[in-house]
Amino acid sequence: MITDVVLKEKQTDQNLNDFSFEDIGDDHLFTGIETPMKKDAFKISDEKKKEKIAGLFKEIMNVMGLDLTDDSLQGTPQRVAKMYIDEIFSGLNPANKPKVALFENKYKYNQMLVEKNITFYSNCEHHFVPIIGKAHVAYISSGKVIGLSKLNRIVQYYAKRPQVQERLTNQIAEELKGVLGTEDVAVIIDAKHLCVSSRGVKDNTSATVTSYFGGKFNTQEKIVELQNTLNY
């Protein structure tokens, strides 16, 4: 008799075009622009989530053979739970989405505005290890402007969740387009993935670059202008 677990694994393998998870290995899967979430993801409170995560992580540590009576390890399950919910995965909760105020473009500035070298820390959704990088975002005002710090906060919000870099790039771009009311948006992300450098192939020198060029930025002239600005 085939168990439910095996059936689920077989069904999942079919969704991967008949490749198994081991066949896929470290290859980059990208299922869509939306972060995969359960419909009842926020049915329980953050405090309850932290309580559950602490219990589950304690079990993981037990299975690994760690001595949870040691002074250094006793509080680790609670620390990890708090870190997951309140910090590194806080971007999963829409309640934490930054509130953005727009202002009239009274300076009549109609050239591109670039916020570069926005440092972010995310986590690979395949191995739950860090992605460390810099984001560069740019836009051309359609009549409204946004506070500079809000550009950073939008990047951080989408970075603070299990991520794939392609999705992160598109999510930031789509958010900026919606907030600013313009297609004239560009996003470039340059990041190192610890799932590549600290495990697997263990390549510590490579980096991954992704980009989104919308509206007026999707021309050779504007792309070159943006690249020259970033290289200053």
Q: Which of 126, 136, 163, 171 is catalytic?
A: 126
Q: What is the DSSP-derived secondary structure letter of residue 92?
A: G
Which of 109, 108, 100, 104 lies closest to 152 in space, CA to CA? Answer: 100
Catalytic-residue membership of 127: yes
Q: Which of 136, 156, 171, 195 is catalytic?
A: 195
Q: Which amino acid is at 109?
A: Y
Given a contact cutoff of 8 angstroms between Cβ atoms, the answer to whether 210 and 167 are in contact is: no
Catalytic-residue membership of 126: yes
Q: Which of 156, 163, 165, 171 is catalytic?
A: 165
Q: Which of 115, 163, 171, 193 is catalytic?
A: 193
Q: Which of 127, 166, 183, 225 is catalytic?
A: 127
Catalytic-residue membership of 193: yes
Q: Which of 115, 125, 171, 175 is catalytic?
A: 125
State the Cα–Cα distance between residues 214 and 222, nearest whole angstrom.
Answer: 10
Catalytic-residue membership of 74: no
Contacts of 14 (CB under 8 A, 6+ apart): none
Please enumerate, as own/partner, the contacts of 24-32 that have beta carbons within 8 Å and a separation of 24 or more: 25/200, 26/126, 26/195, 26/196, 26/200, 26/201, 28/164, 28/166, 29/126, 29/164, 30/164, 30/166, 30/167, 32/167
Q: Which of 115, 124, 136, 156 is catalytic?
A: 124
Catalytic-residue membership of 28: no
As a residue count, the chain comes to 232
Q: Enumerate the active-site residues.
A: 124-127, 165, 193, 195
